[in-house]
Structure 1
Amino acid sequence: MSKINEILEQIVQRNPGEAEFHQAVEEVLHSIEPVIEKYPKFAKAKIIERMFEPERQIMFRVPWVDDKGEVQINRGFRVQFNSTLGPFKGGLRFHPSVYLGIVKFLGFEQIFKNALTGLPIGGGKGGSDFNPKGKSDLEVMRYCQSFMSELYRHIGPDIDVPAGDIGVGAREIGYMFGQYKRIRNGYEGGVLTGKGLSYGGSLVRTEATGYGLIYFVREMLAAHGHDFSDKRIVISGSGNVAIFANEKVTTYGGKVIAMSDSQGYVVDENGINLNTIKKIKIEKRGRIREYVDYHPEAKFVEGCKNIWDIKCDIALPCATQNDIELVHAEKLVANGCLAVGEGANMPCTNEAVTYFIEKGVLVAPAKAANAGGVATSALEMAQNSMRYHWTFEEVDSKLQNIMKNIFKTAKEACEEYGIEGNYVSGANIAGFTKVATAMMDQGIV
C-alpha cells in the first residue's frame, strides 16, 4: 500500500460515516502525491496528517420558538480547519442535509480555495440543519439570534469570519450580525461578510461567485483556443451563483438554455430570460417551474438530474455537491461538451472528474473556479478594516485580477508537474504547496 493510500485509510477510519469529507480528501491526496515525492520534508513533518485534521470542531444545540409558540431544536456547527494563512474564513450553510461530514468537506475545500486567492485567509465552514424555506421572517430572525448566541464565542474579525452559503443570504447575515453586535456591545464590522451595503457590505459580493466562475472559465477556454461566443450553456441551480454566472456569461456571447432548482429544470431554446429568473427566485423566493407561466414556449421537467442530458458546449454545475455523476459525465461527453465549470462546491463526483479529464474535457475545479465569493469577502474585510468603500468597478476589477491569477497559478502547477490541462490537480497542488510551506515555517502547531 502506498503512503498516500495508507493516509487515506487512516483518515476514513478516524472519521467514520463522513462520505463527503472522504471524497474531498481522496481527490486532494491523489493530486498531491508528486508534491510529497518532490518534497520529502512535508512527509517527515506529517504535514498531510496535520493539514487534514481540523484545528477545532464545534457542535452546539440551537433552541428556538416557531410562530405557533412551539419549541424547536436544531444543531449548529463550525469547523475551524486551518488558520495557517489567516483567520478562519468560510460560509454558513442552513439546510436539512447539513451534518458534521458536509461541514468538514466544505471547510477542507476552503483551505485550498482561500490559499489560491492569494489573500491572508484560512479555511473554515459552518452551518445548521435548520431549513429557512417556508419559515416566516420572524422565525428566521429568532433562529439566527439563537444560533449566534452560541457562535459568537468562537468568532471574531481576527479569529474566524463566517459568511453566507446555501440558505444563508443577506437576511440571515443581517439578523446574525445584529445579534453579535448586541452581545458584544461593539461594532466589529469584519466579523461577518456578505453584509448589507448599508452597514459595511461590499459591492459585487452578491455577484462575486458567479462572476468569478465565468472569469476563471474564460481564462481556461482562452488558453485552449476557445471562448463563450455562440456556445450553448447549461447551468444547474438558480441561486446567486447560477443567476450571476448566467448574467456574466451572456455578456460574453454565450446562450444559457437551461437552469434548475431542487424540483426540476426549465429549458428555453431562445435563451433563459434572466429577468424572469430573478423575479421568481430573488423577489418571490418561488420555484423555477413558474418560469413557463411567463414563457409558454419553454419546457419544465420534473427532477433536476436529467438536466445534463441536454446537448451543450459548456456545463456549469452551480447547485450542490455530487450533482454530476459518472453517468451524467458520459452523457455530456457523448453530446460534445468541451468544458465544465464547477460553480458549486464539489459538484462532480471523483469518477465524473476522472472521466472528463480522460476524454479531454476541460474542468475548472470548484476550489479555484468558485473562489470569487470568498475572495470578495476578503475584500469586504479589507474595506471594513480601512473604514472605506470601493466602487463596483473597483471591486470587480480586483475580482477579475484575482481569478486570472488563480488560473495562472493552477496552470503553472500543471506545467511544473507535467500534467498540462489537468486544472483539478493543478489547483490542488498549488493550494496545498502554499499552505504546507507556511505550516513548515510555523513549526509543529
Structure 2
Amino acid sequence: MSNAAPNTPEPEFEQAKSEIYSTLKPFLAKNPEYERAWEILQNPERIIQFRVVWEDDKGVCRVNRGYRVQFNSALGPYKGGLRFHPTVNLSILKFLGCEQVLKNALTGLQMGGGKGGSDFDPKGKSPAEIRRFSTAFGRALARHIGPDTDVPAGDIGFTGENAGYVFGAYKQFANEWSGVITGKGEDWGGSAGRPEATGYGLVYYVDHMIHHVEGSSSGGFKGKKVAVSGAGQVAQFAALKAIELGATVLSLSDSKGSLIAKDASNGFTPEEIQEVFTIKSARKELSTFGDKSGKFTFHGNGARPWKLVPQYDVALPSATQNEVDESDAQAAIKAGCRYIAEGSNMGCTQEAIDVFEATRAQKGKGGCVFYGPGKAANAGGVAVSGLEMAQNSQRLKWSLQQVDGKLKDIMTEAFRLCLETGKKYGDGAEVPSLVQGANIAGFLKVADAMKAHGDWW
C-alpha cells in the first residue's frame, strides 16, 4: 500500500465538478452571489483516512487503507455508501460524495452527503477473511460515525453481511443500539424493500420520463426493449421491475463481458435473473451463467452491451462510472434508444452526455434521447436508506407496500423537481434537460441551507 502524494490527480472528482458546474452556469449567470456557495460546497467538510490491519487465513498480518469523506451536512447527517474495491481512492470517493450531496437533496429527506470505503478486494477472500477485515474496518470507522453524525450504507463490494460486521463493531465501541448504518438485515433494524430500492426507483423514474415524452396515456415500459448493464443488485432489480411493467430485458453484464439475448422478443425471465443473483452472490463471473435454453450469447473481453444489442428503446447503465462513452452513446442512438438513465453513479462520460443532450431539440423529428442523471434516477436506494433511518428512530417497521409507496412518491417528486427546474433555467427545448434540472435543484437546496447556517454570505 503506497502513500498518495499531496497533489495526486483526481480525474473522477474533477469530472464530476466540471459536469455540475457546466449545468449551473445559466443559474449562476443570473444569480452570481451563488458562485461563492459553489466554491465552498465543492470542498468536503472533512476527509478521514485510516489504516485497517487484519489477519488472513494463514495468520499473516495484512493492511489496507480506509476512508470516509464527510462531504456536506447542511441538510442532515452525512449519508452515503461504503465501497470495498481495489480501485477505491480519494478521487473516486470525493466524486461519489459530491454527487451524493445533490442526490440526497433531491429525495427531500433530511440527509447530508458522504462516501467511504477501502481498497480491500473481497473477491478471492474466504468468509472468515471478509469477517475479520470488515470488523477491523468497523472498529476504525466507529469513532467517526453515529446516527446523528454520519450514517453509512452499502455500495460496490459492501453487502448486508459486511453491514452486519460494521454494525457489530460500532455497537461494541459505542455500547448502544442505533441506526448507525443502513442496509441492515430486516430482523435487526433493516427496511423492507432496501435491496430493491435503487433498481426499482430507477425504473419508476424512467417511467415518468417515458410518460412525459409520449404522453400520460402511454403504456410506459410496456412493449419497450431494454438494455441493462451490470449484474449486481441495481441491475437485477431494475431488470425485474422492467419485466414486471411489460418490457423485454435484452442484456446484463459484468467486468468480464456481456450476456446478450439472441432474439429481441425473448429476453430474460425472472427465473433467469434469479440465476444471475445466485451467481453473483457466490462472487462468480456472469460467464458461468448456465444457458440451458441457448437464448444468450456471452461476449467477453469486458464488452459492454450498448454496441451489441441491435435494437433497444431504453438503456439502463447500472455497473460503474464512465461505462457509456461517446461512441457508445452514438451506437445507442443508432440502435433506437430514446431513454437512458443511470443506475450507476456518473455512468456516462461528459462526451456521452453531450451527445444525448444535443438531441433534445429533435423531439418532433423522433431523434430525441431523454437522459436521466444518476443523482436523480438512482436516488431510490438512498431514499429508502433515509426511510430506514426514520424507522430506526421511531423503533417502527413499515411493510414492503408502505416503503414501496413512499419510494414511488419520492421518485415522482424528484422527477417533477428536475423537470420543472430544467424548464425554468434551461434552453427552452420542448424536452428540458433533466441533468441541468437535477444539478440546479439539488445545489439550491444545499446552498440555501448552508447560507442559513452561516457557512457562506
TM-score by length of 1: 0.94
Displacement of 1:137: 1.1
Displacement of 1:304: 3.4
Q: Where does residue 26 of structure 2 map in the other structure?
A: 34
* Aligned equivalent of 1:432, options 443, 446, 455: 443
Displacement of 1:303: 2.8
Q: Where does residue 7 of structure 1 map in the other structure?
A: none
Say if 2:311 is the partner of 1:308: no
CA contact (8 A) 2:72 2:112 kept: yes
Provide the rounded CA distance (Å) in 2 between the counterparts of 1:347 and 1:209. Answer: 14
Q: Where does residue 388 of structure 2 map in the other structure?
A: 380
Provide the rounded CA distance (Å) in 2 between the counterparts of 1:113 and 1:119. Answer: 10
Of 372-381 and 31-40, the range deviating more from structure 2: 31-40
Displacement of 1:16: 4.5
SS in 1 for 2:33: helix
* Aligned equivalent of 2:224, options 219, 227, 231: 231
Say if 2:120 is the partner of 1:130: yes
SS in 1 for 2:182: coil
Q: Where does residue 454 of structure 2 map in the other structure?
A: 443
Distance 1:321 1:15, change over 3 A: farther
* Aligned equivalent of 1:423, options 425, 430, 434: 434
One-letter amino acid matched to 1:367: K
CA contact (8 A) 1:96 1:129 kept: yes
Unaligned runs of 5+ residues in structure 1 are 1-13
Displacement of 1:371: 0.2
Q: Where does residue 172 of structure 1 map in the other structure?
A: 162
CA offsets, 1:355-393, max 9 Å, x none?
011123110110000000000000000000000000000
Displacement of 1:439: 1.2
CA offsets, 1:2-33, max 9 Å, x none?
xxxxxxxxxxxx96411000000000001111
* Aligned equivalent of 1:255, options 248, 256, 271: 248
Displacement of 1:65: 0.7
Of 259-268 and 92-101, the range deviating more from structure 2: 259-268
Provide the rounded CA distance (Å) in 1 between the counterparts of 2:183 and 2:84. Answer: 15
Q: Where does residue 272 of structure 1 map in the other structure?
A: 268
Distance 1:375 1:238, change over 3 A: same
Displacement of 1:230: 1.2
CA offsets, 1:298-322, max 9 Å, x none?
2111033341111211110000000
CA offsets, 1:397-432, max 9 Å, x none?
000000000000001101111344210111001101
CA contact (8 A) 1:292 1:298 kept: no
CA contact (8 A) 1:111 1:124 kept: yes
Displacement of 1:292: 4.1
Q: Where does residue 332 of structure 1 map in the other structure?
A: 332
Provide the rounded CA distance (Å) in 2 between the counterparts of 1:358 and 1:37. Answer: 21
Displacement of 1:50: 0.8
Aligned length: 429
CA offsets, 1:131-163, max 9 Å, x none?
111211111110011111110111000000000
SS in 1 for 2:222: coil
One-letter amino acid matched to 1:275: E
Displacement of 1:278: 2.5
One-letter amino acid matched to 1:28: I
CA contact (8 A) 1:280 1:286 kept: no
Provide the rounded CA distance (Å) in 1 between the counterparts of 2:383 and 2:455. Answer: 28
Displacement of 1:437: 1.1
Q: Where does residue 70 of structure 1 map in the other structure?
A: 60
CA offsets, 1:229-263, max 9 Å, x none?
21111100010000000011111111001101111
SS in 2 for 1:324: coil
Of 24-33 and 264-273, the range deviating more from structure 2: 264-273
Q: Where does residue 25 of structure 1 map in the other structure?
A: 17
One-letter amino acid matched to 1:223: H
SS in 2 for 1:305: coil
Displacement of 1:176: 0.8
Say if 2:195 is the partner of 1:206: yes
Q: Where does residue 344 of structure 2 map in the other structure?
A: 344
TM-score by length of 2: 0.91
RMSD: 1.4
* Aligned equivalent of 2:153, options 148, 163, 167: 163
Displacement of 1:184: 1.4
Provide the rounded CA distance (Å) in 2 between the counterparts of 1:118 and 1:275. Answer: 35
Output aligned runs, 1:276-291, within 5 Å.
Answer: 276-282=272-278, 283-291=281-289
Of 49-58 and 420-429, the range deviating more from structure 2: 420-429
One-letter amino acid matched to 2:441: A
SS in 2 for 1:206: helix
One-letter amino acid matched to 2:132: R
Say if 2:398 is the partner of 1:390: yes
Displacement of 1:169: 1.0
Provide the rounded CA distance (Å) in 2 between the counterparts of 1:393 and 1:194. Answer: 18
Displacement of 1:290: 2.2
CA offsets, 1:277-336, max 9 Å, x none?
323434533221122443323211103334111121111000000000101111111121
Of 87-96 and 223-232, the range deviating more from structure 2: 223-232
Output aligned runs, 1:76-155, within 5 Å.
Answer: 76-155=66-145
CA contact (8 A) 1:77 1:126 kept: yes
CA contact (8 A) 1:209 1:370 kept: yes
One-letter amino acid matched to 1:93: R
CA offsets, 1:76-103, max 9 Å, x none?
0100000000000000000011001000
SS in 1 for 2:115: strand
Provide the rounded CA distance (Å) in 2 between the counterparts of 1:280 and 1:313. Answer: 23
Q: Where does residue 365 of structure 2 map in the other structure?
A: none
Of 254-263 and 394-403, the range deviating more from structure 2: 254-263
Provide the rounded CA distance (Å) in 2 between the counterparts of 1:30 and 1:252. Answer: 35
Displacement of 1:274: 3.3
SS in 1 for 2:9: coil
One-letter amino acid matched to 2:315: A
Unaligned runs of 5+ residues in structure 2 are 1-5, 360-367
Provide the rounded CA distance (Å) in 1 between the counterparts of 2:276 and 2:207. Answer: 28
One-letter amino acid matched to 2:245: Y
